[in-house]
Amino acid sequence: YLHAVTETTLRVDTSRGEKLRINFDITFPALQCSIISVDVMDISGQEHLDVKHDVFKQRIDAHGNVIATKQDAVGGMKVEKPLQHHGGRLEHNETYCGSCYGAQESPEQCCNSCEDVREAYRKKGWGVSNPDSIDQCKSEGFLQTIKDEEGEGCNIYGILEINKVAGNFHFAPGKSFQQSNVHVHDLLPFQKDSFNLSHKINKLSFGEPFPGVINPLDGAQWIQHSSYGMAQYFVKVVPTVYSHLNEQIILSNQFSVTEHYRSGDSGRVQALPGVFFFYDLSPIKVTFTERHVSFLHFLTNVCAIVGGCVHCFWNHRFVCLPWPEGNHQEEGTRQIHLSFQSSLPIAAEPPFE
């Protein structure tokens, strides 16, 4: 009775225009950081492809030790390159403006890095078949970077702020783009036939943490045994409000999940390799409210336990008497006769049992 108890209530969620915050921390022990991308899309049609804001990657070795940490950032290293956007070569005292190789949206657009060219290709719905044929990618050593990270893993973690509507986010190799209204990933530059998507979910939560919250996917692992695999998690998000005694209110979420895995069976259409989280939102909101148990309730239970008499405030008098000998429950459990007497007007006469 010195601690608060928590009451739970359910009501229809009438909130509008809110954002959904996703906190994730996932380790891929056999997939290098240079080829992993994060995409988010929802049923409203809004897409965030190759998300880099608030996303961090840690290169790890075969034993799980961290090699290097970096924050994903838009664009790559911008250095002077010989091929200009007009197709000619960089002249003396001429400002560099790299070619987009036909993917530019306007004549003035410049692609000064390999990332700029890949982004321009993505918007066009094209795939980069040979990065070494692109000056920017060749000069930056795009393929060499992938080869240098061969045998490494990646720990990717961060935050996603999305619309509070149903959708999905996923981790997959290659840069994604839309082709004939189909979401695809450009895997040709990596020159690999298979990708090991084995992973461990260190943390996955929706919103701020609150007392007693349980995230069912924390610590979950999946080992890929075939040449390719597709892991799917179907998540039902339940809006949750936690109200502390000090009137602090936490707006958060709980979730339940079911899992499904697809492997590379012969004779089947190959699915996009990746780890997918499909989420939907419950129309019911759960509210947890902390409160203290009344002191009157406390005295009642103490009286029942000790079998004596307690006089308290407001002219209430509690009298606790044991039942007659031999009148008891099974297994020796003692029964208590509790009578309540009060000077206040009440609807029924004592004693109450």
Q: What is the mean pLDDT of the chain?
A: 78
Beta bridge partners of 277: 169, 233
Of the two residues 316 and 187, the one the predictor is more confident about is 187
Query: pLDDT at position 85, please?
Result: 60
Residue 196 tokens, joined: 């090991």
Task: Quote the distance between the C-alpha of residue 337 and its chain's center.
Answer: 54
Query: pLDDT at position 76, please?
Result: 43
Query: pLDDT at position 337, please?
Result: 52
- Residue 125 predicted with pLDDT over 90: no
Query: pLDDT at position 16, please?
Result: 83
Query: pLDDT at position 353, please?
Result: 47
- Residue 235 predicted with pLDDT over 80: yes
Please state whether 145 falls in left (phi above 0), alpha (psi between -120 and 50) or beta: alpha
Task: Quote the distance between the C-alpha of residue 76 and its chain's center.
Answer: 27
Query: pLDDT at position 45, please?
Result: 83
Annotated domain spans of the chain: 1-70+153-311, 78-140
**Per residue in 171-180, pLDDT tens?**
998 877 666 6
**Per residue in 60-86, pLDDT tens?**
988 888 887 665 544 444 444 456 666
**What average pLDDT does the segment 161-189 reach?**
78
Residue 45 CB contacts under 8 Å (≥ 6 apart), including other chains: none
Any long-range contacts for 262-271 (C-beta under 8 Å, 24+ apart)? Answer: 262/229, 262/230, 262/232, 263/224, 263/225, 263/226, 263/228, 263/229, 264/194, 264/226, 264/227, 264/228, 264/229, 265/226, 270/228, 271/228, 271/230
Query: pLDDT at position 72, please?
Result: 53
- Of 275, 241, 277, the closest CA to residue 257 belongs to 277
| Cα distance between residue 245 and residue 293, in whole Å | 12
Q: Which of 193-197, 325-329, 339-343 has the highest mean pLDDT?
A: 193-197
**What average pLDDT does the segment 329-345 reach?**
51
